[in-house]
Amino acid sequence: MIAHEDLRAGLRGAGLAIQVGPFVVRLRSRLDRVERSVALFYDRQLLPLASAPFADFHVTLARPLGLRSVWRPQARFFLDGRSPFRPLPLAHAYPLFEWGLNWCIAQHAHDFLMIHAAVLERDGRALVMPGEPGAGKSTLTAALALSGWRLLSDEFALLSLETGKLVALPRPVSLKNAAIDLIRDRHPQAIIGPSSHDTSKGTVAHLKPPHASIERMHEQAAPAWLVFPRFAAGGQDRLQPLDRAEALLKLVGSSFNYSVVGGSGFEAAADLIEQSDCLNLEYADLDASLGLLNDLAGGPA
């Protein structure tokens, strides 16, 4: 843990080094809201300022210059001094950091098959949940992470091409809209940051990963369950077996870099399929679906 003054000095100076799973992010920013969010969410992942580790990503979040910034303040994301995106309203500076970091990882981390999926673990066995937006993935992920499962990732499954295991990327879980109050009500002890309204995803607030997820970030997990959730309001919660070939196509369809990593990506994906129970989850009621997922691992954690 580093003192808040040091955190501020680091952000405004040479940059704070943040350990995010296998990556080191060096972040610079003079934006107060970025400073507050980093202090809240990443306080246990900051590397000592004295050490100057190699950083995978050099990120800056700053206000663009110009008259426009006076009457409509904005935040801009820079990677290695270049800005790959349009600026967003200043109020969305922290979500912009998280989304920008997603982009950095997706563009560069080709030692992994990267899948748009949540990953959680119990007893060394990983549950991988790819999901379309609106499938309820983040809500399920948050609820599982707050009830005994170890969170490896909310958005990015990193499947090591070397070991075939899932690598943790502990970052705040992005809760959207109704899920924010739902999780807050069910888990009053959960650390949820301020809401950012009117983003491209609606209202967004981030949930801090539980300590165990951060402390065990270097532990990989073997795939055991591949579950595709689909939210079906008013439906019946159920898990149904999914044909392996279909599961593979769905899995690689959710990958950011399947076409980049070639045959080794296919082998990793196919091995994951062979090691996992492949299932569709029709999800209507959070408690019922949590029960089904917990039963996979032998009951509640």
Partner 1 sequence: MSVSEEYFALIPLPAAHVRAWGESVVVYDERCGETHVLQPPLIDIFQALQEGPMTPATLFEYLEQRYDATEGDLEDAMQAGLNQLRQHDLIRVSPESRDA
Residues lying near partner 1 in the complex (CB under 8 A) are found at 243-246, 248-249, 252, 259, 262-263, 266-267, 270, 273-274
State how far the alpha carbon of 83 is from the alpha carbons of 78, 88, 101, 143, 169, in Å: 4, 12, 12, 35, 24
Residue whose tokens read 């080709």: 110
State how far the alpha carbon of 32 is from the alpha carbons of 11, 61, 63, 173, in Å: 10, 11, 11, 21
CB 251 to partner 1: min, Å: 10
Indicate the residue among 66 and 263 with the shorter CB distance to partner 1.
263
Quote the distance between the C-alpha of residue 173 and its chain's center: 6
In this structure, the number of other CB atoms found within 10 A of the CB of residue 221 comes to 22
CB 168 to partner 1: min, Å: 26
Indicate the residue among 11 and 268 with the shorter CB distance to partner 1.
268
Indicate the residue among 38 and 117 with the shorter CB distance to partner 1.
117
CB of 18 within 8 A of CB of 53?
no
Indicate the residue among 73 and 164 with the shorter CB distance to partner 1.
164
In this structure, the number of other CB atoms found within 10 A of the CB of residue 262 comes to 12
CB 274 to partner 1: min, Å: 7
CB 249 to partner 1: min, Å: 7
Q: Which of 135, 125, 149 is nearest to 235 (CA)?
A: 135
CB 164 to partner 1: min, Å: 12
CB 135 to partner 1: min, Å: 23
Indicate the residue among 44 and 244 with the shorter CB distance to partner 1.
244
Indicate the residue among 178 and 245 with the shorter CB distance to partner 1.
245
> How far apart (Å, rounded) are the C-alpha atoms in residues 179 and 75?
26
> How far apart (Å, rounded) are the C-alpha atoms in residues 201 and 68?
24
